Amino acid sequence: MSVISAPSAFSANEIRLEDFLDLERFPIHDLTSDKRAALVAQCHQNLEKCGCAHVPNFIIPTAIKKMKEEAFRIMDGARRAHAWVNPYLTKEDTSLPSDHPKRFFEERTSSFINSDLLEADSILRMIYDSDVMVHFVSDCLNVGPIYRWAEPLGRNPYSVMKGGDYFPWHFDGNDFTVSILVSEAEEGGDFEYAPDIRSANNECFDDVGAVLHGAREKVRVLSLQTGDLQIFKGRYSMHRVTVTQGSSPRIIALPTYVTNPYLVNRPHHAEAFYGRSMDIHHERNLERVDNLTD
Ligand SMILES: O=C(O)CCC(=O)C(=O)O
Ligand SMILES: [Fe+2]
């Protein structure tokens, strides 16, 4: 009998959803279930209304515990950023007026445990590689098909914020992100976002600038708790995580799905967020279908 080498992703029959979900409560595998339909409808509605869906206690505590333990084991490999970034993660452009949002720089001090560091039996990889999850997220977003992302560093990282860290206002390079809170900060670490503050055809620099300078009318705050799931459209909704306080880090898993499986982050975005760019970032540094800055 020939030996089959290990697959690069978990295949469907190797993933036991029960390892991370309570299927009684969240039967996302059962396409005929009323509970699933109601959950999808609610997420869909919230995404339409404010670009964000929140499902409390989605991942079971035993799985969260394993994810937290994994994050702590591999945290030494996390790259701590000390970078000044604007919301678009672009470089300083002195040809623009000094009050332009592209010239608004804040210091990012959070870290990412890049996806390539995840352990072979990582629960986060399992969640990410589960087709049932991809289908569920696609239904919630009412967008499909969606794919796992080709981005080798940012496809499903953990973001780590230690006491005093800050993740500044920004737009994401990808269409939407799923987050799962693995460990809460003692204080702070709130997710703040300005729903749909720009659209595919309009950067809305005035509104963006107002939020950067402290206007709160368009800002929503989400206090996530351990085990919560969030689905978020980060390309149009500017967002940040407020300064964390205390000795326990805020750790959040970020399994990220996309509509174009081929695209990856631009080299400057990979360098700003994940600490380095790789050949793939340069080879696939292609035009985006929209004209938004990223
Ligand atoms: O930590 C979070 O909740 C959000 C992280 C984020 O916005 C990002 O990784 O782009
Ligand atoms: Fe983001």
Domain map (residue ranges) of the chain: 35-277
Q: Which of 254, 257, 258, 269 to mutate to test the pocket of ligand 1 (most atoms within 8 A of CB)?
A: 254
Evaluate if residue 245 carries a pLDDT over 50: yes
Q: Give the Å distance between the CA of 174 and the centre of ligand 2.
A: 9
**266: which DSSP letter?**
-
Residue nearest to atom 6 of ligand 1 (CA): 240
Q: Give the Å distance between the CA of 33 and the centre of ligand 2.
A: 32
Reported as a pLDDT band with limits 50, 70 and 90, residue 3 is very low
- Exposure class string for 278-292: b at 16+ Cβ within 10 A, else e: eebbeeebeeeeeeb
Give the pLDDT confidence of 50-107 residue by residue, as tens digits.
889 999 999 999 999 999 999 999 998 887 766 889 999 888 999 999 999 999 999 9
**What is the predicted pLDDT for the residue at 218?**
95
Looking at the CA of 159, name the nearest ligand: 1
Q: Give the Å distance between the CA of 250 and the centre of ligand 1.
A: 11
CA-nearest of 80, 132, 137 to 273 is: 80
Q: Which of 110, 167, 228 to mutate to test the pocket of ligand 1 (most atoms within 8 A of CB)?
A: 167
Residue nearest to atom 3 of ligand 1 (CA): 191
Residue 236 tokens, joined: 């149009």
| Three-state DSSP class for residue 135 | helix
Q: Give the Å distance between the CA of 13 and the centre of ligand 1.
A: 31
Looking at the CA of 157, name the nearest ligand: 1
**What is the predicted pLDDT for the residue at 6?**
46
**In contact, 119 and 73? CB cutoff 8 Å:** yes
Provide the total of helices (H) and of strands (E) in the chain, helices listed first. Answer: 7, 17
| Three-state DSSP class for residue 274 | helix
Looking at the CA of 112, name the nearest ligand: 1
Cα dihedral across residues 38, 44, 45, 51: positive or negative = positive
As for ligand 1, residues whose beta carbon falls within 6 Å of it are: 159, 167, 172, 179, 191, 239, 241, 252, 254
| Three-state DSSP class for residue 208 | helix
Residue 184 tokens, joined: 């809460």
CA–CA dist 158, 77 (Å, integer): 11
Q: How many residues does the chain have?
A: 294
CA–CA dist 265, 258 (Å, integer): 11
279 sits in which H/E element: helix 279-283
**What is the predicted pLDDT for the residue at 223?**
86
The upper half-sphere exposure of residue 125, i.e. CA atoms within 13 Å in the direction of its Cβ, equals 20
Mean pLDDT of 213-230: 95
**In contact, 149 and 264? CB cutoff 8 Å:** yes
Candidates 2.60.120.620, 3.40.190.10, 3.40.50.620, 3.40.50.720; CATH matching 35-277: 2.60.120.620
Evaluate if residue 146 carries a pLDDT over 50: yes
| Three-state DSSP class for residue 244 | strand
**Higher pLDDT pick, 13 / 271:** 271
Reported as a pLDDT band with limits 50, 70 and 90, residue 2 is very low
CA–CA dist 30, 261 (Å, integer): 26
Q: Give the Å distance between the CA of 267 and the centre of ligand 2.
A: 16
Q: What is the pTM of this model?
A: 0.89
Q: Give the Å distance between the CA of 240 and the centre of ligand 1.
A: 7
| Three-state DSSP class for residue 117 | helix
* DSSP string for residues in 61-87: HHHHHHHHHHHHHHGGGPEEP-EEE-T
